[in-house]
Amino acid sequence: AQSVSQHNHHVILSEAASLELGCNYSYGGTVNLFWYVQYPGQHLQLLLKYFSGDPLVKGIKGFEAEFIKSKFSFNLRKPSVQWSDTAEYFCAVNGRYSSASKIIFGSGTRLSIRP
């Protein structure tokens, strides 16, 4: 079965703390991996994506993620969070060569940053 698992439902950090959000996926075949962010009341925005090549990908706003194929993981990291990073974060996957490229989302991790 195709699925994405995000380990933390709600993470609370202080400003300047380091962040790591866990994501594991289950998918038969070659995958594309994504992290999306959804600020309160807003639509999904792409933070970063992995299609192929270097498994360490850098995205916007200082975020990065590492694809570890052997662990089926794609964890999101940021060395120093800011209050403005308060949002919902979704890990997602789709099949690179699938005839149906629908995106499968994880259940999301709500990140709250204390000023």
**CB closer to other proteins, 5 vs 17:** 5
Nearest distance from residue 105's CB to other proteins, in Å? 4
**Residues in the site for other proteins, rule: CB under 8 A?**
32, 36, 42-46, 49, 51-52, 90, 95-108
Q: What does the block give as tokens for 31?
A: 């995958």
- CA gap 85, 18 in Å, rounded: 12
Nearest distance from residue 32's CB to other proteins, in Å? 5
Instruction: Identify the three-state secondary structure at position 115.
Output: coil
Nearest distance from residue 78's CB to other proteins, in Å? 21
Q: Alpha helix (H) ranges present in the chain?
A: none
**CB closer to other proteins, 17 vs 24:** 24
